[in-house]
Amino acid sequence: METITEGIYTGSLNWTDENDFYNITISAGQTINVKVTPESPLAASLYLYDENRERKAYDFHVEKGEISRVSWKTDSTQVCFIHVEKYEGSGNYTMEVSVGGIVTPTPTPAPITPTPKPTQK
């Protein structure tokens, strides 16, 4: 199993290596988005699991070269697992992983009180 972060990855599936597994840590409130683009003649499916190995999302494809996508928003900081599975054929694939959803507040500048100007008499 390979530990990853956001980014683009390549992999290969065939009759001797039918499954690839990845793990990624995401923070509470974030959404993970995964897209797998297989090169024909590969048909691949995509699964996303939480830290308890419960399936949270999947995209099952039997057509060669068909793109798979999954997304899931977590309520707690945890390690998630991505599983790319060969359905049919063999070949390379590209996997794009993005994580987002937490908005970092912009600090509000302190109010500036104007300095009074002395009055002349």
Segment 26-81, tens digit of pLDDT: 999 999 999 999 987 889 999 999 999 999 999 987 788 889 999 999 999 999 99
β-strand 19-26 against 55-59: which pairing, if any? Answer: unpaired
Segment 7-39, tens digit of pLDDT: 999 999 999 999 999 999 999 999 999 999 998
Q: What is the pTM of this model?
A: 0.79
Q: How far is Cα 95 from Cα 84, in angstroms, rounded to an integer?
A: 9
Pseudo-torsion of CA 21, 29, 55, 22, nearest 10°? 0
CA-based radius of gyration for the chain: 23
Q: What is the CATH number of domain 2-100?
A: 2.60.120.380
Kindly report the average pLDDT of the chain as a whole number: 88
